[in-house]
Amino acid sequence: VNGEEENTSPLAGVRVIDLTHHIAGPNATKLLADYGADVIKIERPDGGDPARRMAPFLRDEPHIEKSGLFLHLNTNKRSVTLDLKTNGGRALLLDLVRDADILVESFAPRVMPSLGLSYETVREVNTRIVMTSLSNFGQSGPYRDYKMTELTLYALGGTMHSTGTPDREPVKLALTVEQFFAGMITATATMGAYLGAQAHGAGQHVDLSLFEMIAGNQDRAVQAHTVFQYAGTIAQRAGGGGGRNVLPSGVYPVADGYVQFFALQPIWDRFCRMIDREDLIEEEYFTRPDHFSGNATVKAEVDAILYEWLLPRTKREVMEKAQSAGYFCGAINSMEDVFNDPHLAAREFFAEVDHPVAGTLRYPGPPFKMTESPWRAGRAPLLGEHTLEVLGELGYSAGDVTRLREQGVL
Amino acid sequence: MAKLPLEGVRVIDLTVVWAGPFATALLGDLGAEVIRVESLQRWDTNNRMMTPAVADIVKHTPDADPAAPQWEVSGNHGSVNRSKKSVTMDLTRPEGREVFYRLVRESDIFVENNGPEVVQHLGVDYDTLRQHNPKLIMISMAGFGAYGPYHRFRAYGANMEAIVGHALLRGYADRDPTSNSNVFFADACGGATGAFALLAALHYRNRTGKGQFIDMSQAENVAHTFSQAFMDYSMNGRVQGTRGNRDFSRAPQGVFPCLGEDRWLTISVGTDDEFHGLCHVMGRPDLAVDERFADALSRYRNHDAIDAEIAAWSVSQEHYDAFHALQAAGVPCSPVLDVSEVATDPQLWARGMFQKLTHPYLGTHHYLKPSISNMSETPLQYWRHAATLGEHNEYVYKELLGYSDEEYRWFVENGHAGTKFLNARSGSETPQRVLQQQQQQQQQQQ
């Protein structure tokens, strides 16, 4: 990172002490780091962040510097190994906290107090720091110490129950996406509290719960909760095909795969233009309200016309034609398609980043682009790569470092 | 109470559907003044959606108003437009646009996620607005960003997610994607990251005095969340598919039937200890010593067999009871909650996550507080219920922008400032209205 970029990054000068691991917390500090914050990731000396041991691995070789998940989640951070269970480790962390703006941690709620690092202690050292604690269920309540994984998390939020088909069990979303979402919310809450601390001179403790984030998320959950409050109604699993409207609003097969349609508005005219049937635009049989809005026979007739048009066409042809007619449609792409997508290429979404062990790989690029202040392409740190550097900045001598290493602190 | 984090920051909200309104909701939660701009000429049924019939609301809510206008009772509007102010003006006419420009001069942030080129057509694009306020921060949260071959694409979350890979990575492992129900995960992510982008830009402006434009592609943002599949292709050229509810590194993991109609329990076992806890709670010590389930790999290989054993047990269990018993034994698990169960969940109540609020039309309900509420010095909540249409017209026109009473009257008489959609009557009769009702019924079948 050159000096000029350092200075124009939106979060240049913000120092973050990162005590998070796995996915959600690291995704929050990734956003901070990629937009310029100095994120010091504290890792345990015996193997570091457990995400270093999570798949996928480069050439399927398990190795703490070759986890694709870890490499993606920890770009632009500095890694310091520290055993927080030692007195020396704790003292060193408090030294780091003294000069920091933000502390983010994602331990189980009992851990930070047991390490002598409760918010009260942290605040004694630095009154203007924002400390974010991210946990499964929050720092209080009857479920506080319960375990959680991606599946159990999504199930609690209220929307998994209505995801899937009625004749089957509810089904989760892909991979660990909800934990990534939680990271985005965590970054927003932390930045919000930090701006408050900057403006009003006082830090605070932000207590975030994964359960609460998923229950309050905008993919149907918070709205469905509100509808339930208003009228007592509960969403059911609707299955594929997008319900009974004549306008296709779900997944349809095409020559080489599938496409995803969706229609919220009465865009029958656009549908007819998509399938080259302008003659049907004014056809009352389809547009009269009782037929248009959910007559199963009419829907089957419309689907039959649509299938005939879809089946000889590729997903890309269908998507391009639909979009040129103004109909909402996306090709259902594999990762191979994604990596060959012309739009993502034109926007230079794939960031090529070199790493001393993993080599040059393509990573997901900026989630948003700012005209004045750039996103940083960068790499994840090796375990403990910046221990000496960061301790040096704190004024520790080479002798201090040797002593701490012998004591097992580093 | 201490000042809220974003007190003194003013946000103009010209957003539609879900993602944009969620971004501004988060800013409002943090204490920004969010002013939502709508026009009386255009009832945005994309945002004012998930709308129960007023008769059903009245049946369920003793103090609801039977004469409530349909556009005021949207579940989406009621949640994601929390704590915002509402002003109306017609941006298709020069007089309305002038009101908007005046508002831009008094504001810090402008958020929009409209269809392609809408802001250009309305004359509220960044190049125009920066003339009125050089320090303005503007974000366009487009599906595919401000440039590139797809920048004119029309897409809801489901369409964006298809294009960047989500649809093939989710759903049942033994069925094709046509059995996938629609999800809009990109909207949740777009709102969360959109808010973060604006906070980052605010920090930059605090340091340098400079505003800027933020080009956000919701598709690119959500693509980060499929990390394992993305990086597996990047590193190994492998194309991943869906695993349904299973996981490569945890077995058994799945969703199991429980007592009652459509009641389910998730179980996600990662270690031998967790497996032994599961066997203990099931009263099946024999399974704990069964060769087929001796370690994670053998449990993965014999997943169907262990699933059958769990289902035979779970089917006679209450999901909440099984949840507590298994968690006490150290087994990661949860009930699959529907929204009625979320509304009564003891953890959320113990954490004070429900807030009682009375809305003039909808009556009194318990709203789920913002998920970022638990801040020690500035606890956050719904600062007020979602505004009724045009509720803050007088405040914005007169107090904020300095229009005289006489000028304000002109805006009222000429269809800018008002509290009713002018197309409401016809709107209730068009296929659009019927379609909307139909979709709501599907989404909310009792």
| DSSP letters spanning B67-121 | T--GGG--HHHHHHTTT-EEEE--TTSHHHHHHHHHHHHT-SEEEE-PSTTHHHH
Residue A177 to residue B335: CA distance in whole angstroms: 19
Residue B84 to residue B124: CA distance in whole angstroms: 21
A86 touches chain B (CB under 8 A): no
Tens digit of each residue's pLDDT, chain A (410 residues): 444 555 789 999 999 999 999 999 999 999 999 999 999 999 999 999 999 999 999 999 999 999 999 999 999 999 999 999 999 999 999 999 999 999 999 999 999 999 999 999 999 999 999 999 999 999 999 999 999 999 999 999 999 999 999 999 999 999 999 999 999 999 999 999 999 999 998 899 999 999 999 999 999 999 999 999 999 999 899 888 766 679 999 999 999 999 999 998 889 999 999 999 999 999 999 989 888 887 889 999 999 999 999 999 999 999 999 999 999 999 999 999 999 999 999 999 999 999 999 999 999 999 999 999 989 999 999 999 999 999 999 999 989 989 999 998 88
Nearest-Cα distance to chain B for A283, in Å, is 14
Cβ count near B123 (within 10 Å): 14
- Which DSSP string corresponds to B392-429? THHIIIIIIT---HHHHHHHHHTTSS-SS-TTHHHHTT
Name the pairing type of β-strands B253-257 and B264-268: antiparallel
CB distance B383 to B83 below 8 Å: yes
CB distance A138 to A144 below 8 Å: yes
Chains A–B, number of C-beta pairs less than 8 Å apart: 590
Residue A49 to residue A278: CA distance in whole angstroms: 59
Q: How far is CA B92 from the centre of its chain?
A: 29
The burial class, CB within 10 Å (0-12 / 13-18 / 19+), for A402 is exposed
Residue B436 to residue A266: CA distance in whole angstroms: 9
B139 touches chain A (CB under 8 A): yes
Tens of pLDDT, residue by residue over B346-403, are: 999 999 999 999 999 999 999 999 999 999 999 999 999 999 999 999 999 999 999 9
User: Which pLDDT score, from 0 to 100, does residue A174 have?
Assistant: 98
**Which residues on chain A are in Cβ contact (under 8 Å) with B156?**
262, 264, 328
CB contact under 8 A, B166 and A236: no
User: Which pLDDT score, from 0 to 100, does residue A410 have?
Assistant: 86
CB distance B32 to B423 below 8 Å: no
Backbone φ/ψ region at A393: left (φ over 0), alpha (ψ -120 to 50), beta: alpha
User: Which pLDDT score, from 0 to 100, does residue A294 have?
Assistant: 78
**Which residues on chain B are in Cβ contact (under 8 Å) with A190?**
none
pTM (two decimals): 0.96
CB contact under 8 A, B368 and A146: no
| Residue closest to B13 by CA, chosen among B439, B321, B396, B394 | B396
Q: How far apart are the first and last CA of chain A?
A: 26
Residue A359 to residue A380: CA distance in whole angstroms: 12
Nearest-Cα distance to chain A for B408, in Å, is 33
User: Which pLDDT score, from 0 to 100, does residue B2 have?
Assistant: 83
CB contact under 8 A, A260 and B162: yes
Residue A236 to residue A165: CA distance in whole angstroms: 9
**Which residues on chain B are in Cβ contact (under 8 Å) with A193?**
5, 375, 378
Residue A107 to residue A135: CA distance in whole angstroms: 7
The DSSP output letter for B224 is: G
- C-alpha separations of B411 from A112, A306, B87 in Å: 58, 47, 12
CB distance B164 to B226 below 8 Å: yes
Residue of B110, B196, B446 to mutate for A, most A C-beta atoms under 10 A? B196
Q: Which of residues 332-351 of A touch B (CB under 8 A)?
A: 332-339, 341-344, 346-347, 349
User: Which pLDDT score, from 0 to 100, does residue B45 have?
Assistant: 84
Tens digit of each residue's pLDDT, chain B (446 residues): 689 999 999 999 999 999 999 999 999 999 999 999 999 999 888 899 999 999 999 999 999 999 999 999 999 999 999 999 999 999 999 999 999 999 999 999 999 999 989 999 999 999 999 999 999 999 999 999 999 999 999 999 999 999 999 999 999 999 999 999 999 999 999 999 999 999 999 999 999 999 999 999 999 999 999 999 999 999 999 999 999 999 989 999 999 999 999 999 999 999 999 999 999 999 999 999 999 999 999 999 999 999 999 999 999 999 999 999 999 999 999 999 999 999 999 999 999 999 999 999 999 999 999 999 999 999 999 999 999 999 999 999 999 999 999 999 999 999 999 999 987 543 333 444 545 555 555 555 44
ipTM: 0.97
Helix residue spans in B237-302 (DSSP H)? 272-282, 285-288, 296-301
> Is the sign of the CA dihedral A31, A36, A38, A41 positive or negative?
positive
Q: Which of residues 181-240 of B touch A (CB under 8 A)?
A: 181-185, 187-189, 191-197, 199-204, 206-208, 210-217, 220-221, 223-236, 238-240
Residue type, B307: D
Q: Which of residues 413-442 of B touch A (CB under 8 A)?
A: 430-432, 434-439, 442
Closest residue to A238, CB basis, from B149, B181, B334: B181
Cα dihedral A84/A90/A96/A99 (nearest 10): 140
Residue B171 to residue A174: CA distance in whole angstroms: 8
CB contact under 8 A, B201 and A373: yes
User: Which pLDDT score, from 0 to 100, does residue A309 have?
Assistant: 98
Q: Could you tell me the two tokens for B161?
A: 């997610």
User: Which pLDDT score, from 0 to 100, does residue A295 have?
Assistant: 86
The DSSP output letter for A151 is: H
